[in-house]
Structure 1
Amino acid sequence: MSALQRELRGIVRLGLKMETVTGLLIRMPVHAQVYRIGGADLYPIVTKRKYSLGGAEVEVEVPLVPGSSLKGRMRGLLELSLGKRLYTSDERIWLHARILWGTRAHPMSTDELIRDISGRCEVDEVFGSPAVGFDQLVEMLARDLASKQGKEEPDDADYEEAGKVARSLALNLALTRLLVDDMTPDKDYVGVLSENGRRILAISDFLEEKGENRIDRITSAADPRQVARVKPGVVFQGALRLLVFDIDKGYVKRNLELVAKGLRLVEETYLGASGSRGYGRVKFKDISVEVMKTFGAEKPEYRKLADLASVEALLGKVDEIAGEVEKTLFG
């Protein structure tokens, strides 16, 4: 086929803060935790960040919320709330994505793939999906055509028809639209906690320890453990960016609303581990919405569209914001 051309029209940026309402645990990998001497049996992911405190740049060890954790949680909740069918390539991780292969795969059928791409599935378009090679797609379509006609192998006519279908589907394809930052404690929160640099901070200032216990139902034997988790009231900062392509005219509202609903579902459930036991309740706040025109812009710059107190406020302004984005990026 001839080269596929896509235009990145612009980017919608959602700057936001996230406050922990209850203790939050996004676990540090076991191989990393073994290097921490003493302490809890389970430990959260941490990193080091520089903050301007008392007129100096100070490196502080702080908890980290990976962008992958937030994005994955949003996607999983949206798939369930929209009733999307789930697929897998390994029978371990099930999700709604354009999975076409695997050693023990339960992939999308050809008809499902065609419906997913031609129907502009919101989850796959916003959150992304595995890349599909054009030749692989043609081969899959041709073999499906041959099978429906009772043939063991596809012939030239099948490949020609498959090529037409594949080229038509390719017109709806673009890169993953939603980019999610890692989140670290907000600079203002860290400033207050450190008394503007007058007090030295350690990772313990952001964490609490929680004792847990498991009881054997047969012997009544106890299995206690200590969990270190981010304490309630810690404020994180980060951003989400929504890419807008040339094929997204008329879809900005749908995509932006999907992101807002994903954040709302996280608020109503949890983030990280042990959510059914009260961990991971969070609240998003102080949401700033900006748009930047990229295609044809000599000097791309963000322009503020709204400052909103909550996700509920964002949902209430989606129509207005989407309209302004489309006006800016598509004229």
Structure 2
Amino acid sequence: MANSIQMMGKVVITGGIRLVTGLHIGGAAAGLDIGGVDSPIIRHPVTREPYIPGSSLRGKIRSLLERAYDRPLNKKVQDVRLHECYKEQEFAGCAVCHVFGVSPGERVRGVAQGEQAARRGEWASFKPTRLVVRDVALHADSKAELERADTDLPYTEVKWEAAIDRITSAAVPRQNERVPAGARFEPFEMIYTIYRLNGNDWQQDVEWLKVLFEGMRLLEDDYLGGYGSRGAGKIAFENLRVELRPLAYYIQNAPPIELATELDLRDNTQIQKIVDVSKTELQKGQ
């Protein structure tokens, strides 16, 4: 039987991100900058405004979920250890890899090596990533507030720290650039796609949506970006709205289905309702 992937619909989560403490997501310095900060933030290359990369949000949430679900850190990318399923049996029960996907390199490796691909069987087939996380721009109101403020650099503050020699007590000062607490980034958008693979049941895909909400809760009690153990990176998701866009939304111009207008990430009853309504509405399209 040929492999098949049917898109059933997409769950779109939108809202905003408020900085509870200063945020540092590092960017590369363009070169030697006399008087520049030691650790600059990432900025939009045209507007020079700070933004939150979708990759930073996605990667941090995945990392927290890997620890929460006690997934083995079995892959190394340079000096970074992370989790990725290598066998079909492992993948079948791994919520993290289903939501966030496995890298194309690992899939292709199984296909390209002949006998190994045969041993891996279905694992050599395509495993789609379900979650897309967009970059988040600085909200216009926060941009205006920061332009009026007397910040050290455009839209940012410079936080001085010192490394202390444990023997001599000598201090080595250093500078970290941060977006100040209180700034808002909006619109925030995550898109979670629900698939039917090889004609199989799609309802487990909807259940895995709960894992994404768990990851967002974990992130609010952890930190985003760098220097989190020293106070930076605490965020709060705000004004979360959830809607379902079934296949008919795309091919028949049907309206989206509102699932939540003010999602509380800690309200499990509300989250279960989102899952149940999604299943009911998608079933109607069968």
Q: Shorter-normalised TM-score: what interval? A: 0.7 to 0.9
Tell me the CA shift for residue 189 of structure 1. Answer: 3.8
With over 3 angstroms needed to count, the CA separation of the structure-2 counterparts of 1:192 and 1:327, relative to structure 1, is farther
- The one of 75, 79, 92 aligned to 1:118: 92
Tell me the CA shift for residue 68 of structure 1. Answer: 0.7
Quote the RMSD (CA, aligned, Å). 2.8
TM-score by length of 1: 0.74
Are positions 1:213 and 2:162 aligned together?
A: yes
Are positions 1:306 and 2:260 aligned together?
A: yes
With over 3 angstroms needed to count, the CA separation of the structure-2 counterparts of 1:137 and 1:42, relative to structure 1, is same
- Number of the residue aligned with 2:71: 84
Letter of the aligned partner of 1:15 in structure 2? T
For residues 38-76 of structure 1, the C-alpha deviation after alignment (integer angstroms, 9 at most, x for no partner) is: 342211111167xxxxxxxxxx53211111111110001
Q: Distance in 1 between matches of 2:88 and 2:78?
A: 23
The answer on whether the counterparts of 1:252 and 1:322 sit within 8 Å (CA) in structure 2 is no
Q: Distance in 2 between matches of 1:317 and 1:137?
A: 47
Letter of the aligned partner of 2:133 in structure 1? V
Q: Distance in 2 between matches of 1:309 and 1:327?
A: 19
Letter of the aligned partner of 2:167 in structure 1? I
Letter of the aligned partner of 1:305 in structure 2? L
For residues 164-210 of structure 1, the C-alpha deviation after alignment (integer angstroms, 9 at most, x for no partner) is: x614x567x5310010011111234446667xxxx699994631221
- The one of 218, 236, 248 aligned to 1:265: 218
Q: Could you say what secondary structure the match of 1:61 adopts?
A: coil
- Number of the residue aligned with 1:285: 238
The answer on whether the counterparts of 1:74 and 1:263 sit within 8 Å (CA) in structure 2 is yes
Q: Could you say what secondary structure the match of 1:322 adopts?
A: helix
- The one of 35, 40, 59 aligned to 2:37: 40
With over 3 angstroms needed to count, the CA separation of the structure-2 counterparts of 1:300 and 1:204, relative to structure 1, is farther
Report the structure number with the largest CA radius of gyration: 1
With over 3 angstroms needed to count, the CA separation of the structure-2 counterparts of 1:191 and 1:48, relative to structure 1, is farther
Are positions 1:297 and 2:251 aligned together?
A: yes
- The one of 156, 159, 182 aligned to 1:233: 182
Q: Distance in 2 between matches of 1:75 and 1:214?
A: 31
Letter of the aligned partner of 1:218 in structure 2? I
Residues 112-191 of structure 1 aligned to structure 2 (within 5 Å): 113-119=87-93, 121-131=94-104, 132-133=107-108, 135-136=111-112, 139-140=115-116, 162=119, 166-167=121-122, 169=123, 174-190=127-143
Are positions 1:15 and 2:14 aligned together?
A: yes
Tell me the CA shift for residue 281 of structure 1. Answer: 0.6
Tell me the CA shift for residue 140 of structure 1. Answer: 2.5
Q: Could you say what secondary structure the match of 1:284 adopts?
A: strand
- Number of the residue aligned with 1:327: 280
With over 3 angstroms needed to count, the CA separation of the structure-2 counterparts of 1:192 and 1:294, relative to structure 1, is farther
Gaps of 5+ in 2: none
With over 3 angstroms needed to count, the CA separation of the structure-2 counterparts of 1:254 and 1:36, relative to structure 1, is farther
Q: Distance in 1 between matches of 2:209 and 2:145?
A: 33
Tell me the CA shift for residue 36 of structure 1. Answer: 5.3
The answer on whether the counterparts of 1:28 and 1:46 sit within 8 Å (CA) in structure 2 is yes
With over 3 angstroms needed to count, the CA separation of the structure-2 counterparts of 1:48 and 1:304, relative to structure 1, is farther
TM-score by length of 2: 0.85
With over 3 angstroms needed to count, the CA separation of the structure-2 counterparts of 1:87 and 1:233, relative to structure 1, is same
Equivalent residues, number: 276
Letter of the aligned partner of 2:159 in structure 1? K
Q: Could you say what secondary structure the match of 2:243 adopts?
A: strand
Q: Distance in 2 between matches of 1:235 and 1:114?
A: 41
- Number of the residue aligned with 2:229: 276
